[in-house]
Amino acid sequence: MEASAWWSPEVHARRRRHLLARGRVKTALRRWFEAEAFIETECGALVISPGNEAHLHAFQTQFVAENGQTRTFYLHTSPEFAMKKLLAAGEPRIFDFARAYRNRETGGRHAPEFTMLEWYRAGAEMADVMNDCAAIARIAAEAAGTGQLFWKGRTCDPGLEPETLTLAEAFDRYAGIDLVAHLDDPAAFRSAALAAGVGISEGASWTDIFSAILVTKIEPHLGMERLTFLSRYPISEAALSRPAPDDPRFAERFELYACGVELANGYRELTDAALLEARQRFEMDIKEQIYGERYPLDREFIDAVAAMSEASGVALGFDRLVMLASGAASIADVVWTPPVISEESAP
């Protein structure tokens, strides 16, 4: 037995307090959702489309029928498609502690198998689910017994009033870049990024430049001492959120940060099926250009989006939340049976 194996008594003893905190946090959050009149769902992980974002990578498998015929399935990267079908079916408030699976993701803040806490409120504004996020972070810190969120020497008090920044404000404050002035000019945007000290390769897309600036110049400053909501994403980064009614160059999307770590991603949900399909096809075209593969579209999901009522929803990394609430050093410390990723595996 290797000394570093997660099931060794010594390693388990070190991790156990974080694992017990995980249980307390989950119990406390379930009680909160029940008090808010939510119903817990249990979405299946085997799907025909795992998600249609260019840089999202799924695990693929084959279903073999009794007659030997096969069909390709995937493990879902989040329960989003299924939960929106439930919204279309008429469920008004739902949440799920869903096991989710993403390929090409490892490190202290990532795992190929993880728990996604996802919830939706029919008829709600984005501000409503932002308030949910703040309450959930506070409850998690209290249930863990710390009252704070911690990561690499940084501290965040979820009991304080959260900070809210638009992307334009954050780019100006932390990178000295006028985001609005560069929305339609990748060349000028790249020049601004280089001037700010961000390395950008020749021919990088607008989205690549945006992401590089966000990760290197902005995210490290977010969620310090208090939670930070980053809102009003450029429409090119809208994902499945709807355009802002007051300015279609931006989207009704936000992300939640604590101690420089992204915890949650939320939307005022897109209900325009034609726009949804166009976005998904565009993302799959990019995926095929870069990675040589594409995932199928889920036609029933597109139809469900057209049928569902107005809603807002959030996907929150539950393992990350527990990691910060319990003061753990890694995702692996808050997962009961963490996957062992090694280049050398026994036959």
Give the pLDDT of residue 346.
39
Residue whose pair of structure tokens reads 């034609």 in the numeric block:
274
Q: What is the pLDDT of residues 201-248, one digit of tens each?
A: 998 999 999 999 999 999 999 999 999 999 999 999 999 999 999 999
CATH classification code of 9-162+226-334: 3.30.930.10
Q: Which pLDDT score, from 0 to 100, does residue 347 have?
A: 41
Domain residue limits, the chain: 9-162+226-334
Whether residue 5 is predicted with pLDDT greater than 80 in this model: the reply is: yes
**Token reading at 252:** 């009704």
pLDDT of residue 342: 57
Q: Tens of pLDDT along 135-193? A: 999 999 999 999 999 999 999 999 999 999 999 999 999 999 999 999 999 999 999 99
Tokens linked to 173? 């404050």
Which candidate, 95, 108, 104, places its Cα nearest to that of 77?
Answer: 104
Instruction: Return the sign of the alpha-carbon dihedral for residues 111, 73, 272, 127.
Output: negative
Per-residue pLDDT tens digits for 246-296: 999 999 999 999 999 999 999 999 999 999 999 999 999 999 999 999 999
User: What average pLDDT does the segment 63-80 reach?
Assistant: 96
Query: What mean pLDDT is predicted for residues 88-99?
Result: 98
Mean pLDDT of all residues belonging to the chain: 95
Nearest-angstrom CA–CA distance, 72 and 91: 29
- Measured in whole angstroms, the distance separating CA 247 from the mean position of its chain's CA atoms is 24
